[in-house]
Structure 1
């Protein structure tokens, strides 16, 4: 199974968007406190829309609480890595945890220093500091799923039927 881990997220709209991505990709979402918002925040709920009821969510008091309960392959997304996210291998059998940090400061540096071999980055133009957190999560989880051949995800339209465009043209 795949997991998204947000370390100290601050912006409720980003977390709401990430919730939608997690539901769409059958990915467990983990939030590590402190959070910059309440889970009842109206902006977060609006961004998560009706997906929140289908979300697999766990909240932790701190980093130590998370680590004590979750073992597997850790992948830290940070601008400080020299390896790209596409160089990472997400195909090993087991739990894959993709970590993303606070929107302003990223993942705490003391955590990164303990996991330097597990850090990856998304390449971008040199003058760009970062991407939006929810976009970064989507890039990361879809690369992970691509390497795993999109397990349990449908490859055709299911809401309106896979031949919807053909039927609509008649």
Structure 2
């Protein structure tokens, strides 16, 4: 199972959206405090729709607490400052993909300690960053694509019509 890690997230709607994405992708969510909101805030639940109760998530007191409770974890650090492009990495099925807080990202001292596992999403021009929820979805679904989308539904279904080949 893939693991998404949010280091000190600040915006409740982003975290709710990411929680919903994790449920849809079959991924586990790890939240590292301090957070800029309470996990039971309405905005978190609203963005996660009715999926929040299906979410497999853990909250940690701090980054050291996260490391202590996940010894030996392979952690990719998503940052605009990285040398490696996310799609050039071969994601392991049980790896952790960490994203920093919306206003500042992952602290540089943590990035320097993990230089070889830093990854970035290429962007045009001088754009500072993408929305956190979008970034998580981009990298998470690349990792799933590399693994053949394990246990995900390969085909959608129409509700009121049929495809030209007769399938629903």
Give TM-score scaled by structure 2 length.
0.92
Is residue 2:77 matched to residue 1:80? no
Count residues with an aligned counterpart: 166
Q: Hey, what's the Cα distance between the residues in 2 that align with 1:72 and 1:159?
A: 40
In structure 2, the gaps of 5 or more residues are none
Q: Which residue of 1 aligns with 2:43?
A: 43
In structure 1, the gaps of 5 or more residues are none
Q: Hey, what's the Cα distance between the residues in 2 that align with 1:73 and 1:89?
A: 12
SS in 2 for 1:6: strand
Change (3 A) 1:26 1:143: same
Change (3 A) 1:110 1:159: farther
Segment of structure 1 superposing worse, 29-38 or 71-80: 71-80
Q: Hey, what's the Cα distance between the residues in 1 that align with 2:17 and 2:129?
A: 17
Q: Hey, what's the Cα distance between the residues in 1 that align with 2:8 and 2:107?
A: 9
Give TM-score scaled by structure 1 length.
0.91
After TM superposition, where is structure 1 displaced by more than 3 Å over at least 4 residues in a row? none
Is residue 2:167 matched to residue 1:166? no
